[in-house]
Structure 1
């Protein structure tokens, strides 16, 4: 559908059908179809990637997803035998070894080797790490509660903006866990101002439920050393993971560089508990808690 109105896409598809390029197919999320290909029509071959279309899939079983992918390739006149790789998110219906979409495509074309999405794998590891720790779940619950408290009504959001001059709070993303750093950072860097805004909201609001929740957040969370210290730890961790995740998604990324990035992240996490870089921030947050 896109190629009907996009001359650049028309040219790419012409080259694919003329065997001037090789391509790799990816799908993920709401079953979006993306083509990554090697364009060797010029002197210097280049890797390029373009989104083709969204596939409407009501049945997300392995067989139906594989059939829809095959139908989509036929529709745009691309031969499944020309695929040299496939990449999906790491859901079991897409990437499980013996009975998933990647296996069905591999059976049709043994040269369509499967590569798990590195950035998504990192996201899943972070998500599982948080979900297996009750204190981490509670910590991010508080972060979301503070955002929800101010953002649920226009009047409260204006109240927040009038009292906190600086970074704006953001909701927690449910799909990109490493982006939680953007939700933690405003509260970490403006703890005192946000606490004062919460206390002012307690005085100005007449709803007993809101007053109780707001006071609890201001006194029992934003003045709690464990929570304040947790913000420092999570911000450092999420910041490091977010940088690596973004690099893994760049078009120029290769396997050697990806391995180096992941090994560097692993060493960073191993050394964090031994580092004394946290001490100055720990002391500053402890003074704020008092």
Structure 2
């Protein structure tokens, strides 16, 4: 029987991939050598990709050792590095033990520029973890999204834009599907209905919709190809002003929430009961402060001030 050679085995395919990768890498290294100076990016592949690294240990020290090892293997002098770009994790950009600091100690001309989009997202995430009222809101939002995928089998559009539909959907589930739901899921729906039927749930949805809209718009712009650092810095300043404007116009946002609540036949009143946030209000806070005053001082202003300070940093 006549034998036929073929080159479709996994060994042949892997060899072809390796040779192609080697060709591309050599082209990148030659381009770098001609340019002399370069920027170092870890955890992204925006420009010239050199190598995948497996990090069993993820401390700043361990990652730095791996990165320097790759540079040495590929004969890329660290002294020619003029830029660093990482996410904002402490192991990457920490002021003392991060990769950024360790590289700067070896080459003080390797200036660091953080990922702008990741910076803004990090501020949102940090805020959502710190303030109890915000934690409760986002826990309910997360439960809504998880529940919608399991039961409704349909993507839920932004809650602030479709608030009445969401409440109607929850009502329908409680009235028409209650006998078919598992106890845990039924309990989740009851909790969601109770929270999003409250004025506090509505106010938080309106407030966060306005705040995150500002950030989302900026995120899209600062990730545009070719935008300069100067332009990004100016955009961050503009965002600071937008957030300050939100702070100054809180009374209008609250009034807007009241009008929406009235249309939806929700009682437009915030709960009088104190929360953990109220216990850390300023010592001279009036004992006669209304629930709205407390919410304004202990939730809205603290969240926005946190955003403004983090943007400034």
Q: Same fold (TM over 0.5)?
A: yes
Could you tell me which of 127, 130, 152 is aligned with 2:128?
130
Which runs of 5 or more residues in structure 2 are unaligned?
Answer: 1-16, 267-313
For the residues of structure 1 that align with 2:113 and 2:204, how far apart are their CA atoms? 35
What is aligned with 1:204?
A: 177
What is aligned with 2:152?
A: 157
Q: Does 1:233 align with 2:228?
A: no
What is aligned with 1:175?
A: none
* Correspondences of 1:1-290 after superposition (within 5 Å): 4-5=20-21, 11-18=27-34, 20=35, 22-27=37-42, 32=43, 34=45, 49-152=47-150, 156-158=151-153, 161=154, 168-169=155-156, 186-202=158-174, 203-206=176-179, 207-218=182-193, 220-275=194-249, 278=253, 279-280=255-256, 282-290=258-266
Higher share in strand: 1
Query: TM-score by structure 1 length?
Result: 0.74
Q: Deviations over 1:179-215 (max 9, x none)?
A: xxxxxx5222222222222222223133333323212
Aligned length, in residue pairs:
245
Q: Deviations over 1:91-140 (max 9, x none)?
A: 22222233332232223323212233333332222222222211111011
Question: Secondary structure at 1:145's aligned position in 2?
Answer: helix
CA-based RMSD of the aligned residues comes to 2.7
Structure 2 contact 38–80 (Cα < 8 Å) conserved: yes
- Deviation for aligned residue 1:61: 2.3
For the residues of structure 1 that align with 2:218 and 2:169, how far apart are their CA atoms? 35
Structure 1 contact 225–285 (Cα < 8 Å) conserved: yes
Question: Secondary structure at 2:37's aligned position in 1?
Answer: strand
Which runs of 5 or more residues in structure 1 are unaligned?
Answer: 36-48, 162-167, 170-184
Structure 2 contact 90–98 (Cα < 8 Å) conserved: yes
Moved over 6 A (4+): 6-9
Query: TM-score by structure 2 length?
Result: 0.69
Larger relative contact order, structure 1 or 2 (CA cutoff 8 Å, min sep 6): 2
Rg larger in structure: 2
Change (3 A) 1:118 1:210: closer
Structure 1 contact 24–85 (Cα < 8 Å) conserved: yes
Range with bigger deviation, 258-267 or 190-199: 190-199
Range with bigger deviation, 120-129 or 60-69: 120-129
For the residues of structure 2 that align with 1:273 and 1:110, how far apart are their CA atoms? 39
Q: Deviations over 1:127-176 (max 9, x none)?
A: 22222211111011111111112223xxx234xx4xxxxxx22xxxxxxx
